[in-house]
Homo-oligomer: A and B are copies of this chain.
């Protein structure tokens, strides 16, 4: 069974905050008029500086448990250590492996035993060969449970946080058996560019998006510049709904 039973023509819109900060924050997002059911949210964060907010950890797991009692949604979260698997299993529908851990083969080996789908982000400067090489460590899951997520690569350019590599999406759709997602939030690093990047990803043939949204971006504990506010979130969904049919896709939120 593939992630969220994705059909070939489904375009999945996964959204949520960079980091889960509180029950209120999550409720604000889940109460959107579109009632999103594909939710991302960080519990264990990887931060370049040790002094940055590292995620709520166990408290974040409890928040998801509480929410799932009343609301129906699928939950994607990043795992940063094999020892987190047991505590995350009850709340997670898909494990995300972040860019910093794409080469963490020990983690991938453990995830290959956990049966859940894995969304494998591309390393900051991972070649396509290396990225596909990393999927070999997940092969026991089966192709349909391995998802790749392009999130921008590192180049000489500094105006944007990363360089969105949609050529990679185009290449992989023709040369690899996996579903390919795009994270326009990390790629662009600025919420004002996320909508346009999302449309370009759809046109490039991506199978879905992973987008950051926050009820109050200015006060987000991490990545405040790139999170959509709830209004932009709605507008993006509306645009995608309109654009999907042109590319023979059906939007699922």
- Pick from B100, B127, B193: contact of A167, CB below 8 A: B193
A104-B100, A105-B80, A167-B188 known; A203+B193 contact, CB < 8 A: no
CA distance A133 to B205 in the complex (A): 34
Which of A12-20, A44-52, A221-229 is found at the contact surface with chain B?
A: A44-52
Q: Does A124 contact B (CB under 8 A)?
A: yes
Contact in complex: A170, B125 (CB < 8 Å)? no
CA distance A101 to B49 in the complex (A): 16
Q: Does A129 contact B (CB under 8 A)?
A: yes
Q: Does A197 contact B (CB under 8 A)?
A: yes
Number of copies of this protein chain within its complex: 4
Q: Does A163 contact B (CB under 8 A)?
A: yes
- Pick from B134, B153, B166, B203: contact of A155, CB below 8 A: B153
Contacts of A192 in B (CB 8 A): 174
- Chain B's closest residue to A54 (CB) is B105
How near does chain B come to A6, taking the closest CB pair, in angstroms?
20
Contacts of A126 in B (CB 8 A): 124
How near does chain B come to A164, taking the closest CB pair, in angstroms?
4
Q: Which residues of A contact B (CB under 8 A)?
A: 46-51, 80-83, 100-101, 103-106, 123-130, 133-134, 136-137, 139, 152-160, 162-168, 170-171, 173-174, 187-188, 192-193, 196-197, 199-205, 242-243, 246-247
**New A-B contacts (7) at CB < 8 Å, excluding given A127-B158, A167-B193:** A48-B133, A49-B136, A80-B106, A155-B163, A160-B168, A167-B187, A200-B203
Provide a sorted-by-A list of 9 A–B residue pairs whose CB atoms are within 8 angstroms.
A51-B136, A104-B104, A123-B124, A159-B171, A167-B188, A174-B193, A199-B203, A200-B200, A200-B203
